[in-house]
């Protein structure tokens, strides 16, 4: 029921009018529409000589019908004109106001200033829309004006221009320091990631009531409320793994949470903000390829082993750059050659585990993109899951180390990294998501 109708009923109800008559009177009266002017910010731009800022605003009348008892308040917008408000950067004063009729069919949700540049006879270009503080637009070293949440920010002139619904308002602007920008970016990362992680966890708990929690797999992605300027989605993967993808205007990254709550990301910035392990572009995929259920020890099962294929001295790499592969030295046994489906060595055997630690400062194919190291020998039957293998590497070598994956360098079944490995022993390696593992 509209507010006007409620007010009318309150006034006349004490007079003793019958309810039916009262409702008829309220519906018939309509109370009358209320009209008020409005202004809607669309776009902003800069003149060719960089002296004038142009703000594009839609002007019109807004009519609210609040008397209909069934429909309640209904507001209708009636555009009357599109205006370009000019602002002189040197003086801080407003200049001309250029007025144009609204386009046929009414203005679009976001009219572009460039469409009116020819009509104005002035060369002007739209400002970059930075949306949030995680972009480089907020840096003190950028003098060019930009838009931020439908405001014009002029770092050089130390001003901000905003449309308050009726007029343009100018306020002082203090540029953020690099530390403030980093703190704002980190806070946004955390807020976004925590929101989607909470949604995915809730989704998992609901599905686990009727499905095997170890094998829940969402073929399609779920989404949650988005932050300005970003999109995000998540998947639930067998093994109680949550995979999330985030896409900002200037950054894309992914995060994967393992069953123990530990997270891995392919973004160095996100790793710092979230406290996750930083990995290369394949690190998140490797978490998602975890075996769904940890198996009991199977002495007759076979796993995959590799050896040192070559020790190569790259000009840009330190000594000890090494390539490992299934056909490395020492050779696999003749009776069981390399087989990515069945493995080559009985899991009752004790061998070192090959571990890797990514360096995201280098491309994945670079010999500097990862460090390689071996642990002490471990019986394959003790490696009950991919997570157990990772934990074994971390216990032996420290944070950031994971069981090396046969596919982590994007060159399938061959990995190059920096490490002092000797061609004197075979070692266990994680064979992607295949069956040739001891778990």
Tokens 């493995």, located at residue: 343
Q: Is 239 in the same domain as 252?
A: yes
Q: Which structural domain range is residue 9 located in?
A: 1-31
Q: Looking at the 3D structure of the chain, how many domains does it have?
A: 4
Q: Is 233 in the same domain as 274?
A: yes
Ranges 92-101, 326-335, 424-433, most confident:
92-101
Q: Is 86 in the same domain as 212?
A: no
Q: What is the pLDDT of residues 261-310, one digit of tens each?
A: 788 888 877 787 788 887 766 778 777 665 544 455 566 788 899 999 87
- Is 1 part of any domain? yes
Residue 215 tokens read as: 């094998």
Does residue 403 contact residue 358 with C-beta atoms inside 8 Å?
Answer: no
Beta bridge partners of 230: 248
Does residue 314 contact residue 439 with C-beta atoms inside 8 Å?
Answer: no
Structure confidence at residue 258 (pLDDT): 81
> Tell me, what DSSP letter sits at residue 125?
E
Q: Is 284 in the same domain as 337?
A: no
Does residue 334 contact residue 425 with C-beta atoms inside 8 Å?
Answer: no
Q: What is the pLDDT of residues 117-163, one digit of tens each?
A: 888 888 888 888 776 655 566 665 556 888 887 889 888 888 899 98
- Is 437 part of any domain? no
At 355, the pLDDT band (50, 70, 90 cuts) reads very high
Q: Is 60 in the same domain as 159?
A: yes
At 8, the pLDDT band (50, 70, 90 cuts) reads very low
Question: What integer is the mean pLDDT of 173-192?
Answer: 76
Residue 248 or residue 55, greater confidence: 55
Question: What integer is the mean pLDDT of 14-41?
Answer: 62
**138 burial level (CB within 10 Å; 0-12, 13-18, 19+):** buried
- Is 62 part of any domain? yes
- Is 323 part of any domain? yes
Q: For the chain, give the number of residues.
A: 439
- Is 58 part of any domain? yes
Cα 307 from Cα 428, distance rounded (Å) = 9
Structure confidence at residue 229 (pLDDT): 54
Cα 105 from Cα 112, distance rounded (Å) = 16
Q: Is 183 in the same domain as 172?
A: no
Structure confidence at residue 354 (pLDDT): 95
- Is 439 part of any domain? no
Q: Is 241 in the same domain as 166?
A: no
Does residue 375 contact residue 286 with C-beta atoms inside 8 Å?
Answer: no
Cα 439 from Cα 431, distance rounded (Å) = 11
Please provide the DSSP assignment of 37-78 as one string.
EEEEEEEEEEETTSSEEEEEEEEEEEEEE---TTT--EEEEE
């Amino acid at each position: 029921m509209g507010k006007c109708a409620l007010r009318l009923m309150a006034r006349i109800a004490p007079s003793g009018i019958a309810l039916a008559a009262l409702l008829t009177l309220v519906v018939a009266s309509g109370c009358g529409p209320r009209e008020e002017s409005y202004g809607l910010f669309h776009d902003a731009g800069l003149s060719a000589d960089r002296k004038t800022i142009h703000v594009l605003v839609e002007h019109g009348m807004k009519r609210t019908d609040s008397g209909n008892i069934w429909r309640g308040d209904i507001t209708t917008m009636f555009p009357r004109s599109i205006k370009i408000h000019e602002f002189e950067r040197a003086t801080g004063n407003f200049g001309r106001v250029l007025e144009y009729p609204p386009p046929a069919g009414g203005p679009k949700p976001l009219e572009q200033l460039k469409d009116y540049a020819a009509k104005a006879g002035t060369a002007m270009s739209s400002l970059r829309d930075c949306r949030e503080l995680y972009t480089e637009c907020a840096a003190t070293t950028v003098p060019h004006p930009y838009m931020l949440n439908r405001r014009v920010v002029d770092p050089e002139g130390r001003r901000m221009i905003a449309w308050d619904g009726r007029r343009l308002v100018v306020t002082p602007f203090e540029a953020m320091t690099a530390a403030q920008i980093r703190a704002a970016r980190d806070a946004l990362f955390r807020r976004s990631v925590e929101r989607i992680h909470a949604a995915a966890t809730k989704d998992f708990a609901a599905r686990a009531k009727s499905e095997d929690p170890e094998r829940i797999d969402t073929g399609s992605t779920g989404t949650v409320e988005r932050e300005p300027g970003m999109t995000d989605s998540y998947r639930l993967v067998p093994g109680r793994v949550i995979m999330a993808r985030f896409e900002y205007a200037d950054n894309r990254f992914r995060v994967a949470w393992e069953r123990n709550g530990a997270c891995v990301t392919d973004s160095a910035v996100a790793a710092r903000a979230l406290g996750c392990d930083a990995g290369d572009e394949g690190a998140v995929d490797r978490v998602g390829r975890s075996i769904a259920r940890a198996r009991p020890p199977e002495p007759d099962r076979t796993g995959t082993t590799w050896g040192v294929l070559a020790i190569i001295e790259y000009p840009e790499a330190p000594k000890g750059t090494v390539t490992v592969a299934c056909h490395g030295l020492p050779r696999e046994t003749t009776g069981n050659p390399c087989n990515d489906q069945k493995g080559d060595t009985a899991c009752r055997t004790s061998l070192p585990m090959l571990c890797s630690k990514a360096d995201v400062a280098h491309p994945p194919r670079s010999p500097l993109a990862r460090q390689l190291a071996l642990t002490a020998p471990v019986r394959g039957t003790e490696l009950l899951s991919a997570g157990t293998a990772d934990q074994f590497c971390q216990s032996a070598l420290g944070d950031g180390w994971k069981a090396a994956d046969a596919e982590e360098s994007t060159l399938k079944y061959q990995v190059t990294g920096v490490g002092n490995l000797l061609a004197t022993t075979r070692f266990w390696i994680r064979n992607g998501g295949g069956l040739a593992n001891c778990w």
